[in-house]
Every structure is written in structure tokens, then in C-alpha cells.
Amino acid sequence: MMSGPGGNEKGLSQNGDPGGHLSVLTSAHSAAVGPETRLLSAFRKDTHHRKVYLAGREYYSKEGKTFELRLVGKIKQQLGADPTLRPEYAPSLGLTDFTRRATEAALGKSCCAIVENRVLGVQTPGFTAAVRLGAELLKHWHDVSATWCGPVYLSTPCDDSLAGIFQAAGIQDIREYYFWDDRQRGACLEKLLEDLERAPQQSVVVLSASGHYPTGADLSQSQWAVIIQLIMRRRLFPFLLLPAQALCYGELERDAWPVQYCASQGMELLCAQSFSHCFGLYGEAVGHLLCILKQSSLRLSLQARAERIIQSLWAQPSVGGAQVVATVLSNPAHRVEWQAEVKHIVERCMLIRHILRERLRLLGTPGSWEHLTQQRGLYCCTGLNGQQVEFLSNRRHVYLLPGGCLNISAINSHNLEYITESIHLALTTLL
């Protein structure tokens, strides 16, 4: 049989496709794999019996397992046995009781913005979705007749997914502002202010309200006051993040103090919240976007725009996790019990920080480790450089994020000695 043009029998194309067309999926450019994905893949392939993964995002118990709060388990059972509850889709903006409780968790019940009806709360399927919805709303925030496209300022370092979320929403102008200083082992206010001073008007500044990921370095209230003054004077727009609310100080409202302060100054803002960490609802992905407006007359148009965007993204959020959060936060007895469990988590994380610092000191590990106990929340920046982090993964099978940051809750009595010994070796071997 004669072959067709190009020498292929039966008219096959070079890639074996009988229609002569390239596959849309197989010919697509593969996306770059993020550092966390690469790290987790390397850890899973590692067969060493003492390997330790310190780059996870969840809260881990002292047994090294993701943790479900006892109260949350009881509430789930009660909701499951409630004959009055029917499987129904939630409204596109989410459960009303949940959005009310989530809003109060950030602003407090007596906030002027709530009283004056200048607040819109939207339930989202997780923290990432809250950021994405906020990014979509920002495109028309300043001028409904034109699409705003940036710039958006992110901290260095920050969550690697943030830039991609804004870019997926069509905002391509992503810039950085200085945050973590390796020499100071903490946030550097002076350089942060210098970068924001140069930002064009109407720039969006993404700021961690508490529990900065991945460093754990928080700004003091006096530092926040200076930053907010600059933002107002330069006419910038704050987008605040609460990815692990309540896990810094053990209280929802205290962790959200920067949000309350901005609201007290009469500022417009967006705030992305997550309740997955503080309720152990990782499978349910319970997020919330808080929008504070300057005028209540704008609320209905913003709500309508949010509903249109949601219809094209996820249509309706899930119900289960939001019901748990709303049930706990609306019942004073439940809230007291939940608060006690959360405070235990916070106290354990702080205890680990103190023990880690003391063990490194006793080993004579070079450098000062006071910064470990000055950070808060789930995350911690050790100050190790890239070469030392690589030494830990390659030689000691201890996996940290590339910048030397780690999840403090992943350290427990079973791996503490090995981790401190490994950090000591990384600093003394690579002098």
C-alpha cells in the first residue's frame, strides 16, 4: 500500500493522530512546578527512616498528624443527626449566619462599618478562593468603566501561590516590597516603608494581618499605625490576609487587630480569611472575603458584581464546614470550649519555639536564636541560607522551605532531637 504525503501510511500525522491535528492537552506548555510541590515529591521518594517534613501547611498534633478539634467532631455529629437539615445548595454569597460570624470575627460586633451597612461578607471555598474573588473585584474597584490591572505589591517572601492568583484574575503587574530581613531576623519596617513610598497611587498592597506565611514575623501595633498612615497618604489600597486566624494569639479578634484598625480609620479594604486552620476543617476549605466600603450606597452594586463573578468561578460554596463554624461562634458555651482548644494549640507552638531555641543554645549552635520566640503562629523562619537548607534535605533528610522557613507544629518529641542536631550540623559543617 502506498503511503500518504510525508511517508505515513493511512494518512497518519507525525504524532500518530489520524486527523492530522495536535492534541490541545498534550501540546500545551507544562506549568512550572512550585517549590512546595517539588519538596513534597522529594520527601515522598525519600526512603530514610528518620526523614522529617517541616514544610506542610496544616497544624500537626504532638503525634505528627493533622488535628481535628474535639468540639468540631461533636458539632459534625450533631449536624449530621439533625432531621431539620436538608441537603441544599448554599446561596452564591454563602450562608448568612456564617458570613455574619466571620465578619464579626474580624471586626467585632460594634464596628462602625457594620452598623453603617458598609460591609459585604462572602463565603468562599477556602482562603485561596477568597484572594481570587478579591482580585476579580479589584479590577473594577477604582473605576467601573475601565479595567484596573495593577500594580499589586506582595511581601518578600510570601506565599508562592499569591502572584499566580492575581495573574489568573488578569492582573499581571506584580511587584514586591521588602519584608523579612535575614540580618535582623525579622520584619524590616524601614525598607518596607521605602518600597511602599515609591508605589504608584491606587496600587494594592497585600499585607499579612497576623501569622505571616512563611516567616511567622508579625508587625507590632505601632508599626501598623505607621504603615497605615503611609497607605492613606499615598492613596494605596490594603488587601489584608488572615490565613490562620486565631493561631497567633488564640483569639480571633486579637489576630485581626490590623483589620479593625484600618476600619476605624474609615478605610476601604479587602480581607481574605480562613477558618480551616483554627477549626481543623482542612477537607471543607472554609474561607471568607470581607469587603469594607466607604459608602453604604456602593454595597448593592458590589454584591451584584461579586455574585456574577462567583457564578463563573464556583457557583455556590459548600455548606458543611461553614455550618460548623457558624454553630460554634453563635453559641457562647461552644465558643468558650473552642477557644480553650485553640489556646492549647497556640501554647504548644510557643513551647516548641522555646524548646528549639534552648536546645540549639545548649548545642552551641552558631548565631542568636532569639528570633524563634519572637515569631508567632504556625510558621517560623530559621534564618538558614539556601546551602544549609539543601544540606538538611540531602544529608539529613529534613525538609524545610527553600528560604529556611518551617511549620513549627511539625516538630514533636519524636523528631526534636534529630532536627536540632541537624540544624547544628548544617551551621557548623558549612562554615
pLDDT at residue 24 greater than cutoff 70? no
Domain positions in the chain: 35-57+335-429, 88-330
Which of 27 and 87 is assigned the larger pLDDT? 87
Helices (H), 139-174: 161-168
User: Which percentage of the chain shows pLDDT scores above 90?
Assistant: 79
Which of 21 and 114 is assigned the larger pLDDT? 114
pLDDT at residue 328 greater than cutoff 50? yes
Q: How much is the average pLDDT of 317-341?
A: 95
Cα dist from 218 to 308, 325, 368, whole Å: 36, 26, 19
What are the grid coordinates assigned to 51, written together? 526523614
Give yes or no for a contact between 88 and 319, defined as CB atoms under 8 angstroms apart.
Answer: yes
> What does the pLDDT look like over 386-397, one tens digit per residue?
999 999 999 999
Q: How much is the average pLDDT of 399-403?
A: 93
User: Which superfamily does CATH assign the domain made up of 35-57+335-429 to?
Assistant: Aspartate Aminotransferase, domain 1 (3.90.1150.10)
Question: Could you give the CA distance from residue 368 to residue 185 in angstroms, rounded to a whole number?
Answer: 9
Q: How much is the average pLDDT of 69-78?
A: 91
Nearest to 54 by CA among 406, 423, 405, 414: 406
Q: How much is the average pLDDT of 321-328?
A: 95
**pLDDT at res. 78:** 87
pLDDT band at 2 (very low <50, low <70, confident <90, very high): very low
**pLDDT at res. 84:** 79
Q: How much is the average pLDDT of 183-188?
A: 91
Question: Could you give the CA distance from residue 21 to residue 135 in angstroms, rounded to a whole number?
Answer: 36
**pLDDT at res. 7:** 47
Question: Could you give the CA distance from residue 379 to residue 406 in angstroms, rounded to a whole number?
Answer: 6
Q: How much is the average pLDDT of 85-109?
A: 91
pLDDT band at 30 (very low <50, low <70, confident <90, very high): low
**pLDDT at res. 89:** 80
- For CA atoms 67, 164, 101, 407, give the dihedral sign: positive
Q: Is the peptide bond before 214 cis (omega within 30 degrees of 0)?
A: yes
Helices (H), 221-319: 221-233, 252-255, 257-264, 276-279, 299-313
Which of 21 and 200 is assigned the larger pLDDT? 200
pLDDT at residue 105 greater than cutoff 90? yes
Most confident of 138-142, 205-209, 372-376: 205-209
**pLDDT at res. 146:** 64
pLDDT at residue 170 greater than cutoff 70? yes
Q: Using CB atoms within 10 A of its CB, is residue 377 exposed (0-12), middle (13-18) or buried (19+)?
A: buried
**pLDDT at res. 145:** 53
Question: Could you give the CA distance from residue 96 to residue 84 in angstroms, rounded to a whole number?
Answer: 18
**pLDDT at res. 236:** 96
Question: Could you give the CA distance from residue 378 to residue 245 in angstroms, rounded to a whole number?
Answer: 11
Q: How much is the average pLDDT of 356-371?
A: 95
Q: What is the pTM of this model?
A: 0.90
Question: Could you give the CA distance from residue 197 to residue 179 in angstroms, rounded to a whole number?
Answer: 14
**pLDDT at res. 5:** 44
**pLDDT at res. 143:** 55
Instruction: List, as own/partner pairs, every contact residues 175-184 make where C-beta atoms lie below 8 angstroms and the sequence separation is at least 24, other chains included.
Output: 175/150, 175/151, 175/199, 175/203, 177/153, 177/205, 179/155, 179/212, 179/215, 179/217, 180/155, 180/156, 180/215, 180/217, 180/381, 180/403, 182/383, 182/385
pLDDT at residue 424 greater than cutoff 90? yes
Q: Using CB atoms within 10 A of its CB, is residue 169 exposed (0-12), middle (13-18) or buried (19+)?
A: buried
pLDDT at residue 11 greater than cutoff 50? no
What are the grid coordinates assigned to 68, written together? 481535628
pLDDT at residue 41 greater than cutoff 60? yes
pLDDT band at 347 (very low <50, low <70, confident <90, very high): very high
CATH of 88-330, one of 3.30.1780.10, 3.40.640.10, 3.20.20.70, 3.40.50.620: 3.40.640.10
Residues 265-303, buried b or exposed e (16+ Cβ, 10 A)? Answer: eebbbbbbbbbbbbbbbbebbbbbbbbbbeeeeebeebe
